[in-house]
């Protein structure tokens, strides 16, 4: 039976295809953007993509910020906001992973208290994190002596144009291919069992799961496999679109705390936490996790057993792709676990988990098992 649901759509144009970057000048002309700021990372300067963007964008490119740091530190946002105001920027071109896109979203958001006409965001993702599809961003700040990543949801800052060019992902290193690919898969898992799941997000998540299951191992084995890279980028898009419409749960809340406070790279946190989050939710969410298990080709059997098999299958991926499997291997200090558990307990996303978590001790145990 169809359950009641709510579903929000955002005004976005998606341009997807190998070589799509070549269309950027045409898109910018159509949109009448005339004063652009590129927001990216040092790695895109090093691989020549900043120079390429300078050529493609010409005189319309009036500022380049290439110092994006992971987890979107407030200092990055302060600087880009200042430049955007000074240079009267009308579009932010976010080129890179979730961090560059996060800086662009946070910049637009901080401008919203200063000016009425916000710059549009044109996002060009080069990882599988999916942030380009959502109205949410996190900024890492220090408060009361604790460094924390705080999330904001603002529909006005959703990237208006998203340009997906699989050729830009060919140089994504193996570890980032694996970890950001697991991040995309985690969006699917938490979308299907979300407390705000809906028929559209479930469809998107299941198709993305199927694509990820086939394409991610191929991308890991051979980064230059354009067909696999294209499928995996499409999976990341669909997973991001699923994510945009639902509340995430335990997995994402814990990953945010591990990123913002213990500085674990987002994809690596996803790889460590996901199998444990699936196991934690396996009893309450068995009928939803079965759908993910089927998308992974797991044979039909008892529902909870299928959900547990899905967790083991993710663990196999993580092992085969040589990602860290324990928090200790990702630089987390054992003495920090009680504080991380406390922050996770206060985290709204954790509280949105379909299987309710009533005690901090449950989270401390959850973290210790992963340590």
Please report, as ranges, the residues that interact with ligand NAD according to CB under 6 A: 41, 43, 70-72, 96-100, 102, 126-127, 129-131, 134, 136-138, 168-169, 171-173, 176, 180, 183, 243, 259, 266-267
Q: Strands 146-153 and 136-143: what pairing?
A: antiparallel
Taking the complex as a whole, the smallest distance from the CB of residue 358 to ligand NAD amounts, in Å, to: 26
Closer by beta carbon to ligand NAD, 172 or else 289: 172
User: Among 284, 344, 282, 33, which Cα is nearest to 160's?
Assistant: 33
Closer by beta carbon to ligand NAD, 139 or else 298: 139
| CA–CA distance, 308 with 329 (Å, rounded to integer) | 24
Taking the complex as a whole, the smallest distance from the CB of residue 46 to ligand NAD amounts, in Å, to: 9
DSSP 39-59: E--HHHHHTTHHHHHHHHHGG
Q: CB atoms < 10 A from the CB of 261, how many?
A: 20
Closer by beta carbon to ligand NAD, 15 or else 284: 15
Structure tokens at 152: 């904001």
Q: Which residues pair with 95 in a beta bridge?
A: 124
Closer by beta carbon to ligand NAD, 108 or else 129: 129
Closer by beta carbon to ligand NAD, 29 or else 75: 75
Taking the complex as a whole, the smallest distance from the CB of residue 59 to ligand NAD amounts, in Å, to: 26
241 three-state secondary structure: helix
Taking the complex as a whole, the smallest distance from the CB of residue 155 to ligand NAD amounts, in Å, to: 13
User: Among 87, 231, 119, which Cα is nearest to 164's?
Assistant: 231
By beta carbon distance, the residue nearest ligand NAD is 98
Taking the complex as a whole, the smallest distance from the CB of residue 133 to ligand NAD amounts, in Å, to: 7
């Amino acid at each position: 039976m169809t359950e009641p649901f709510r579903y929000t759509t955002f005004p976005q144009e998606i341009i997807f295809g190998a070589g799509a970057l070549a269309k950027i000048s045409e898109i910018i002309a159509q949109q009448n953007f005339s004063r652009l700021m590129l927001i990216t990372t040092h790695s895109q300067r090093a691989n020549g993509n900043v120079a390429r963007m300078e050529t493609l964008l010409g005189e319309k490119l009036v500022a380049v910020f290439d110092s994006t740091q992971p987890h979107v530190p407030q200092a990055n946002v302060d600087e880009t906001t200042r430049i955007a105001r000074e240079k009267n920027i009308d579009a932010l071109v976010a080129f890179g992973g979730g961090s560059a896109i996060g800086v662009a979203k946070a910049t637009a958001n901080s401008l919203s208290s200063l000016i009425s006409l916000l710059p549009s965001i044109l996002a060009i993702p080069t990882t599988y994190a999916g942030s380009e599809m959502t109205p949410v961003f996190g900024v890492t700040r220090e408060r009361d002596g604790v460094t924390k990543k705080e999330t904001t949801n603002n529909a006005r800052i959703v990237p208006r144009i998203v340009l997906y060019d699989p050729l830009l992902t060919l140089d994504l290193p193996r570890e980032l291919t694996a970890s950001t690919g697991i991040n995309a898969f985690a969006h699917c898992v938490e979308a299907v069992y979300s407390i705000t799941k809906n028929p559209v997000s479930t469809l998107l998540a299941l198709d993305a799961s199927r694509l990820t299951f086939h394409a991610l191992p191929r991308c890991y084995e051979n980064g230059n496999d354009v067909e696999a890279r294209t499928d995996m980028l499409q999976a990341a898009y669909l997973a991001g679109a699923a994510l945009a419409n639902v509340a995430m749960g335990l997995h994402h809340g814990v990953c945010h705390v591990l990123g913002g406070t213990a500085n674990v790279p987002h994809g690596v946190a996803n790889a460590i936490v996901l199998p444990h989050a699936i196991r934690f939710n396996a009893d309450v969410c068995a009928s939803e996790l079965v759908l993910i298990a089927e998308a992974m080709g797991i044979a039909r059997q008892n529902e909870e057993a299928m959900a547990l098999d899905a967790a083991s299958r993710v663990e196999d991926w993580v092992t085969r792709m040589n990602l860290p499997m324990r928090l200790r291997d990702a630089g987390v200090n054992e003495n920090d676990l009680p504080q991380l558990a406390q922050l996770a307990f206060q985290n709204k996303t954790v509280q949105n988990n379909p299987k309710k978590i009533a005690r901090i001790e449950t989270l401390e145990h959850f973290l210790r098992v992963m340590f």
